[in-house]
Amino acid sequence: MLTLSQDDILLGCQAESWRAALDQAADALHTAGLVAPTYRDGLYAREAQSSTYLGNAIAIPHGTPESRTHVRATGVRVLQFPGGLEWHDGNRVHVLVTIAAQSDEHLDILRQLTHVLDQDGMAERLAGADSRAEIAGLLSKAVVEARLDAETLCLGFPARDHQELALAGAARLRQAGCVTSEFVAALAETSPLSLGQGLWLAASHRGVEVPALSLATPATALETDAGEVAGVFCLAARGEAHRGLLERILALLESEAGGDVREADAATLLARLAGESASVSRRLARVLNAHGLHARPAKQLVQEARAQGIAIRVRLAEGGFDAVSATSLTKIINLGARRGQQLAFSAEGEGADAALEAICRAVEGGLGERVMPFDASREAIAPDEDAPAPESLPADEAHPGVAASPGLAIAPAFVLMTPRFDYPARAADPAAENRRLDAAIHEGKEQLEALVQQARGGEVAQILSMHEEMLGDPELHQAAREGIAEGASAEAAWWEAIDTAAQAQERLADRLLAERAADLRDVGRRVLGILCRVELPEPPDHPYILVTDDIGPSDVARLDTDRVRGLLTARGGATAHSAILARALGIPAVVGAGPRVLTLDNGTELILDGERGRVTPAPSAERRQSAEQRLAEHRRREAEAWEARFEEARTRCGHRVEVAANLGNTAHAADAVSRGAEGVGLLRTEFLFMAHAREPDLETQIEEYREALEALDGRPLVARTLDVGGDKPLPYWPLPQEANPFLGLRGIRLSLTRPEVLETQLRALLMAAVGKPLRIMLPMVKDVAEFRAARAIVDRLLDEIPETERTIDLQLGVMIEVPSCALLAASLAAEVDFFSVGTNDLTQYTLAIDRDHPELSAQADGLHPAVLRLIEMTVMAAHAQGKWVGVCGELASDATAVPVLVGLGVDELSVSARQVPLVKARLREFGLKKARALAGIALAQATSEAVRDALEAR
Ligand code: PEP
Ligand code: MG
């Protein structure tokens, strides 16, 4: 956000004409290094379009959108003209606030200035000010805005009483950045007050960063000992700023609408809290103007509103402000509405509907500016005419991206640009639009059904079926129908419904769940494509690497794996469904490589390295030849490894090292066995919990664990107890947001706060494994005390459950993920049955590098000598007590690391199922003596680079 500082202000300027003043303003921006000299033309062009005079002797010159390419840095220069000057529209000006903005930040300046526009005597005070501090003080009154918007609401939360709801509301405010954990703690200590009508209030001023109000409502009607609970207001109070919020609550209670809140959706609640009665007519219109509701379209809006001859009020639909009169220019500007935001207009009485219809049409028509339909998923990279085109990629140079699916591919590029959907925003015949939408949804379902039939992998079919279910969601249909009833075209109403649902999904704290918004948009685009009759260009009939902006999961599922050798995207992350599917289909993928990849010409030869996350366009003959050799070698090894996948895993000298599979889904155990896995070395049970909307009960868990145990047919299963919390919360297990989730309440720490959940899981595991071997391990253990607490529960269960109803072959171990555990391995080894080293977390905590950090995570290399020393200590302590050690982090499948781990004495490697044959093959390539020598070399190095260099040299 742009703010004014004293250094931005030039006092005592003089000019003979407005042009001379504008020249001075352009020079001031240039001298400050904010713009190129040519920006001056943009300032003139903008004044030629219409005056930037704002009121109260202030003008705000700024460039046209076209001139933004001449802006080097965003900033402002304020020029004071004590003698005043006549602006070209006849107004007298004393202050020019001249803006260099790369996007629409000038709206923030406008909003800050609106408060001075209504004040009498302000012009004289600005003219007479004799210090920069005085001008800055007059212009930049800090506006503290109390928040109440869609992001601060927490609706339909599965709470058991008003206290839990208050905490859920507090957690939501914490996520929205309004309060710190001190506020959450303060609310945990207080009991909410009853306001009547089933509503409650919990408030505190502790830990408040921005005054705000949250409303948390329960998922089901709550009758508690304290009374009915329809909702809990959670108020973050500060100074006077929250007073308006309290008034809104009182007004809601006076309107006796309190009891309705539990059933109401976010839009209705925000309308009620903004003071709109249930009887007003309300219409929504999206701001489509590229630079938001800036002065020019705002003026036009005011004129439209005046022309209706009826009182119309307007507010941002997502909340944040009270409704204001649509005929007040300063108040409209003060809304600061940006492109894509929705305005909620309301009016009452005769003619209200027609007036609202007219004003919404005007807004969606662009208020005098040319506008494009809005597609949130594409806005971030939508071709912005003002933005410089991305530079093309140089030939024969590796360009970095995110490694999303391993493998190497060499093939020409096929660049698929996502089509633009052009459609009218409004339509005259709602019945016809409803029919078109129904037909398109039906066709979309048929397409998906056909794809489900064709789908190769289980995961692909599952995701496509989920898309089919999304497409049938009655709430989406209803939302679209409401839009159509309000005059929107089928396309606009459908996309609006999809986008609103996707945005709600994106607000979820869980990154994995938030990424499901991509699935919704994917489903939405399918129907939009059918409605707009847009067809994707035909790919070539020879092998190619697909290059695209972003790719929806269903697009990946549709890929013809015989021809698509690799996938390269400008956007996206390694945890998106598209990346998961690419891995499931075995297609090498590099994602999030930036917009420059879209400048590639069709047919450009590419080397795509999905392991290192790199793409090299137009490689030299030499580079291509070496990549081809690597590829041929890789394929040969893969084929050989596959042939020998059922052989027992041993080193060349016959030393036995078990190779097991990591699983997130018990249904995949059979597939792991068919790939040669000798057991499951890590079952990430949190995925089972995440797949359910509520905590799975004992029977459900027994059934799912039994599926894996049966497929394993006597081979060992190592099940890790629930590893959630911190960065991967469960939707039905509310937790306050933490500043350092990786250092917070997660893994066993969290499980021990709800021992009943842990107990049910342990009971289910023990009972599912009747007659079978079972190994249970605890995640994120930091010392033996945590192990003992969990062991006590296990021991009690073993006493309670008759031997005939549970496993009698049980081992209980811990994961070595926290360095303290490795350092104290001797004390743990005396009590545990085994260790399994989670190198992903152990590396993160040893090197203090967030494993998901976009820039640093590449340095989080498990072959760092510090991590290797911790593994060595763990193995020595375990073997001294006759216990075994596995490694289940990603390092276990790193071909360079495998001999080192074996040399350190590791007894088991647990890797993703696809990697099992290759790891077994890797073991056959060396003997124990060599492995020990390599481990010694690695331990003697000072950095991970040195370790890799030293190992490669051998
Ligand atoms: C690890 O940390 O290495 C591990 C295997 O656990 P996760 O990746 O599930 O945290
Ligand atoms: Mg871990």
Q: What is the CATH number of the domain that holds 934?
A: 3.20.20.60
Residue 637 lies in a domain: no
Residue 411 lies in a domain: yes
| Axis crossing angle, helix 839-847 with helix 865-880, rounded to the nearest 10 | 120
- Pocket test residue of 840, 863, 870, 901 for ligand 1, highest count of atoms within 8 A of CB: 840
Cα separation, 769 vs 810, in Å, equals 9
Which residue is closest in CA terms to ligand 1's atom 10? Answer: 841
* Nearest alpha-carbon partner for 580 in 671, 664, 472, 684: 664
Which residue is closest in CA terms to ligand 1's atom 1? Answer: 838
Provide the pLDDT for residue 927. 96
Amino acid in the structure at residue 797: L
Q: What is the mean pLDDT of residues 9-20?
A: 92
* Ligand nearest the Cα atom of residue 727: 1
Cα 763 to ligand 1 centre (Å): 23
Cα 65 to ligand 1 centre (Å): 48
Which residue is closest in CA terms to ligand 1's atom 3? Answer: 838
Looking at 273, 297, 318, the residue that finishes a domain is 273
pLDDT higher than 80, residue 139: no
877 and 769, same domain (yes or no):
yes
Query: pLDDT tens for residues 406-420?
Result: 789 999 999 887 677
Cα separation, 234 vs 222, in Å, equals 18
447 and 409, same domain (yes or no):
no
Provide the pLDDT for residue 686. 87
Residue 108 lies in a domain: yes
Higher pLDDT, 741 or 709: 709
Percent of the chain with pLDDT over 90: 40
Which residue is closest in CA terms to ligand 1's atom 6? Answer: 838
* Ligand nearest the Cα atom of residue 887: 1
686 CA: nearest ligand 1 atom:
9
Cα 359 to ligand 1 centre (Å): 55
- Pocket test residue of 721, 815, 893 for ligand 1, highest count of atoms within 8 A of CB: 815
pTM of the model: 0.52
127 and 235, same domain (yes or no):
no
413 and 367, same domain (yes or no):
no
Please give the mean pLDDT across all residues of the chain: 85
Amino acid in the structure at residue 393: L
What is the band of 849 on the pLDDT scale with cuts at 50, 70, 90? confident
735 and 862, same domain (yes or no):
yes
- Pocket test residue of 665, 683, 684 for ligand 1, highest count of atoms within 8 A of CB: 684
Provide the pLDDT for residue 217. 87
Cα 887 to ligand 1 centre (Å): 10
> Which CATH number covers residue 409?
3.50.30.10
Q: What is the mean pLDDT of residues 585-614?
A: 88
682 CA: nearest ligand 1 atom:
5
> Which CATH number covers residue 88?
3.40.930.10
Top-confidence range, 344-358, 366-380, 737-751, 932-946: 932-946
458 and 520, same domain (yes or no):
yes
Q: What is the mean pLDDT of residues 773-779?
A: 97
836 and 937, same domain (yes or no):
yes
Percent of the chain with pLDDT over 70: 88
Cα 743 to ligand 2 centre (Å): 12
Query: pLDDT tens for residues 51-83?
Result: 888 778 888 898 887 788 888 887 889 999 999
Cα 841 to ligand 1 centre (Å): 6
pLDDT higher than 50, residue 509: no
Provide the pLDDT for residue 610. 87
What is the band of 456 on the pLDDT scale with cuts at 50, 70, 90? low
Provide the pLDDT for residue 880. 96
Residue 645 lies in a domain: no
Residue 149 lies in a domain: no
pLDDT higher than 90, residue 710: yes
293 and 264, same domain (yes or no):
no
Q: Which residues are catalytic?
A: 62, 294, 577, 888
Q: What is the mean pLDDT of residues 782-800?
A: 97
pLDDT higher than 60, residue 510: no
Residue 890 lies in a domain: yes
Query: pLDDT tens for residues 189-248?
Result: 888 888 888 889 998 988 888 788 888 888 888 888 888 888 899 998 877 667 777 777
The β-bridge partners of 194 are 200
Cα 676 to ligand 2 centre (Å): 24
Strand 324-325 and strand 313-316: pairing? antiparallel
- Pocket test residue of 743, 861, 888, 915 for ligand 1, highest count of atoms within 8 A of CB: 888
Higher pLDDT, 380 or 525: 525
* Ligand nearest the Cα atom of residue 681: 1
Which residue is closest in CA terms to ligand 1's atom 8? Answer: 840
3-state SS track over 488-516: ECHHHHHHHHHHHHHHHHHCCCCHHHHCH
Residue reference for tokens 């039906």: 442
Q: List all residues whose CB is within 6 A of at least one atom of ligand 1.
A: 682, 684, 723, 817, 838-841, 888-889
248 and 209, same domain (yes or no):
yes
Residue 329 lies in a domain: yes
Q: What is the mean pLDDT of residues 705-723?
A: 96
Number of domains in the chain: 6
Cα separation, 948 vs 863, in Å, equals 7
* Nearest alpha-carbon partner for 843 in 829, 827, 856: 856
pLDDT higher than 90, residue 820: yes
839 CA: nearest ligand 1 atom:
3
Looking at 139, 162, 194, the residue that finishes a domain is 139
Least confident of 337-341, 718-722, 937-941: 337-341
> Which CATH number covers residue 443?
1.10.274.10
* Ligand nearest the Cα atom of residue 684: 1
Residue reference for tokens 């350190």: 904
Cα 843 to ligand 2 centre (Å): 10
Which residue is closest in CA terms to ligand 1's atom 4? Answer: 838
Q: Phi, psi (5° rounding) for residue 131?
A: -140, 155
847 and 883, same domain (yes or no):
yes
Least confident of 550-554, 598-602, 840-844, 893-897: 550-554
- Pocket test residue of 841, 864, 908 for ligand 1, highest count of atoms within 8 A of CB: 841
248 and 189, same domain (yes or no):
yes
Provide the pLDDT for residue 789. 96
Which residue is closest in CA terms to ligand 1's atom 9? Answer: 684
Q: What is the mean pLDDT of residues 689-714?
A: 91
712 and 848, same domain (yes or no):
yes
Residue 740 lies in a domain: yes
Looking at 273, 301, 332, the residue that finishes a domain is 273
890 CA: nearest ligand 1 atom:
3
> Which CATH number covers residue 344?
3.30.1340.10
840 CA: nearest ligand 1 atom:
3
What is the band of 868 on the pLDDT scale with cuts at 50, 70, 90? very high
Cα 279 to ligand 2 centre (Å): 54
Rg (CA), the chain: 32
662 CA: nearest ligand 1 atom:
5
844 CA: nearest ligand 1 atom:
2
Three-class SS of residue 476?
helix
Q: How far is CA 42 from CA 27, 37, 90, 317, 478, in A?
A: 13, 10, 21, 33, 46
* Ligand nearest the Cα atom of residue 838: 1
3-state SS track over 502-559: HHHHHCCCCHHHHCHHHHHHHHHHHHHHHHHCCCCCCCCCCCEEEEECCCCHHHHHHC
Range of the domain at 64: 6-139
Provide the pLDDT for residue 874. 98
Q: What is the mean pLDDT of residues 250-266?
A: 73
